[in-house]
Amino acid sequence: MQVECTILKDDGTLSCFVGFRIQHDNARGPMKGGIRYHPDVDPDEVNALAQLMTWKTAVANIPYGGAKGGIGCRPSEMSTNELERLTGVFTQKIHDLIGIHSDVPAPDMGTNSQTMAWILDESFMGIHLQLLQESQLESATGLGVVFGTEALLAEYGKLISDMKFVIQDFGNVGSWTAKFIYERGGYFEWVQNIQGFMWDEEKVNHELQKYMRRSFLDVKAMCQTLNCSLRMGSFTSGVNRVARATLLRGWQA
Ligand SMILES: NC(=O)C1=CN([C@@H]2O[C@H](COP(=O)(O)OP(=O)(O)OC[C@H]3O[C@@H](n4cnc5c(N)ncnc54)[C@H](O)[C@@H]3O)[C@@H](O)[C@H]2O)C=CC1
Ligand SMILES: O=C(O)CCC(=O)C(=O)O
């Protein structure tokens, strides 16, 4: 879906932005994917990112499909009030698409938990999602990166504390990843610049670690079977799972 979002700027002028929510696949469950605010956002990019979400949720073997959204804008040049108005208009326009049983948005580049809170205010998802604390929402992706990294390093008998790291980008995901790596004794070579459940943070993190470790082992098994790289193993594993779910639903591939 492509929508036009016209908002009143702080200086009294009107500005029009184009936003997207692209739903790629729901064979394995409700669609899942971030909402990006960035000047490069266009239909091709959002479409590609929505597809990637389908494969990522399948590789991690969590019961979700793939979607992605975004608005072509420069969030760093907009005031908080302007961003809130833009998010409100965008949410009203894509309101019918999103929901905890159909398509669950999340933060991405240029958006954060404040953006999600504005979306919740405008939509019906708040009752379910407000149970998730802001800190969990912000840190979960970075923690997932670290758990995945630990599972990979364990294959080589290594720990994060044995390694040097380079973090390319230091926004939400990058900064939380850095924090968790630092806490585990990792050394930095350099640094370049959500949901309706009632688990506590410890349980969420435990589950996250379990999923990341298990999906890594699945990919490894696929690599051994096909004698291929991790990248090809991940791709094959994700595509197989989506194809199987599609067939089980009786849909045409
Ligand atoms: N925020 C989240 O929960 C999730 C984010 N992601 C992915 O993680 C990545 C980072 O997202 P966030 O941390 O949320 O974004 P963010 O907007 O918080 O941070 C992005 C960072 O990238 C930097 N950056 C932008 N262009 C750059 C370039 N050309 N070279 C170096 N740095 C550059 C920016 O300065 C900023 O520090 C994105 O690919 C996003 O799709 C994936 C899953 C969830
Ligand atoms: O948790 C989510 O749905 C956001 C994930 C996402 O957008 C991504 O992995 O690129």
Dist. CA 79–CA 95, nearest whole Å:
24
ipTM value for the complex: 0.85
Task: Give residue 22's pLDDT.
Answer: 98
Among residues 124, 187, 132, 193, the alpha carbon closest in space to that of 159 is found at 187
User: What stretches of the chain adopt beta strand conformation (E)?
Assistant: 2-8, 14-25, 31-37, 65-71, 103-107, 164-168, 187-192
Between the alpha carbon of residue 146 and those of residues 141, 164, 169, 209, 218, the distances in Å are 9, 13, 15, 9, 18
Buried b / exposed e along 122-154 (16+ C-beta atoms within 10 A): bbebeebbeebeeebbbbbbbbbbbbbbbbbee
Identify the active-site residue in 9, 68, 158, 210: 68
Supply the pTM of this predicted model: 0.77
Q: Residue 33: which H helix or E strand, with range?
A: strand 31-37
8 Å CB contact between 154 and 184: no
Q: Scanning the structure block, which residue is given the tokens 């080589």?
A: 156
Task: Give residue 253's pLDDT.
Answer: 63
Q: How confident is the prediction along the chain (253 residues), in pLDDT tens digits per residue?
A: 999 999 999 999 999 999 999 999 999 999 999 999 999 999 999 999 999 999 999 999 999 999 999 999 999 999 999 999 999 999 999 999 999 899 999 999 999 989 999 998 887 565 445 545 555 678 899 999 999 999 999 999 999 999 988 887 778 898 899 899 989 998 876 665 533 445 567 877 888 999 999 999 999 999 999 999 999 999 999 999 999 999 988 887 6
Which residues are near ligand 2 (CB < 6 Å)?
32-34, 53, 56, 106, 108
Any ligand 1 atom below 6 A from CB of 193: yes
Task: Give residue 196's pLDDT.
Answer: 42
Nearest CA residue ID for atom 1, ligand 1: 108
Active-site residue flag, 56: no
Any ligand 1 atom below 6 A from CB of 115: no
Task: Give residue 169's pLDDT.
Answer: 76
Dist. CA 141–CA 33, nearest whole Å:
12
CA 23 to chain centre: 14
Task: Give residue 155's pLDDT.
Answer: 96
Cα(36) to ligand 1 centroid in Å equals: 9
Task: Give residue 194's pLDDT.
Answer: 35
Q: Which two tokens stand for residue 239?
A: 């595509």
- Residue count of the chain: 253
Task: Give residue 165's pLDDT.
Answer: 86
